[in-house]
Amino acid sequence: MVQINFRIPFLTHSIHILFVALLQTPSVHAQRYHFQPAREWAIGGIGLVHAGVNIPIARSTQPLPQISPAPRHSLNYTYRPQVAHWSDGLIAAGAIMIPAAVFSNMDVKAGTQAMAVCAQSMLMNLNITKTLKHSIRRPRPLVFASGTPPDLVYATDARLSFPSGHASTAFCMATSLSLALRTYEVNPSTRHWITGGAFALAGTTAVLRVVAGKHYPGDVLAGAALGTGIALLNHYLHVQR
């Protein structure tokens, strides 16, 4: 099996390609987001129904059955709880960074509109990610690491590896922020610095999840693609050309 340290360059390269592709997407030159009451109620209603459906799906997820030590110890993964805590901190930093970046570069009305679309995207991403996690139930790499405490190995959370919720959340936040700043025609130099910082934070979060033993590279790449895609979809639903 290929060791985890050889997978990190591939992961960072893939994230870089995603970031560059987003920056090069042609601008729609919109002045603001457009809200239609019927559509917003529909999005909110679907979100509530989806959240309700997720409850029995989550409850049906059972802990892993007993795993013999030999297969666990034969795979080259290490559980690093401190690194996992760092990734949690980056997600929290992003949640603070987005409104700060938005309201420092837009007036109150524009900032509120941008944050409303960002919040919608985040809720959509949360629901879809949760459904996928509890439907696929892929064991996390830490399950196969020799030093992982048994209470973590046989916890329900140990079956929620795919896709990465941290990666989908981080990239949904970064993409939503980037598109909002461009939609309201924030100064390009300022916008690029903020967008670069947001995607650097998102990419670092994704890499740390792999290093921590919480996810495989494929988990975070899928999460990054999912979060980015949802943000793009919701942006184009609201953009006024």
- Chain centroid to Cα 65, Å, comes to 28
Contact 166, 211 (CB under 8 A): no
Spatial separation of the C-alpha atoms in residues 57 and 34, rounded to whole Å: 34
pLDDT of residue 155: 87
In the chain, the amino acid numbered 118 is: C
pLDDT of residue 2: 37
Q: Is 105 helix (H, G, I), strand (E, B) or coil?
A: coil
How much of the chain is in helix, strand and coil states, percent to nearest 5? 75, 0, 25
- The tens digit of pLDDT for each residue in 44-61 reads 899 889 988 888 888 888
Spatial separation of the C-alpha atoms in residues 210 and 9, rounded to whole Å: 12
Q: Which portions of the chain are predicted below pLDDT 50?
A: 1-6, 22-30, 69-75
pTM for this model (two decimals): 0.82
pLDDT of residue 124: 95
DSSP 106-174: S-HHHHHHHHHHHHHHHHHHHHHHHHHHHHH-PPPGGGG-TTS-HHHHTSGGGG--SS-HHHHHHHHHH
pLDDT of residue 58: 80
pLDDT of residue 17: 54
pLDDT of residue 207: 94
pLDDT of residue 25: 47
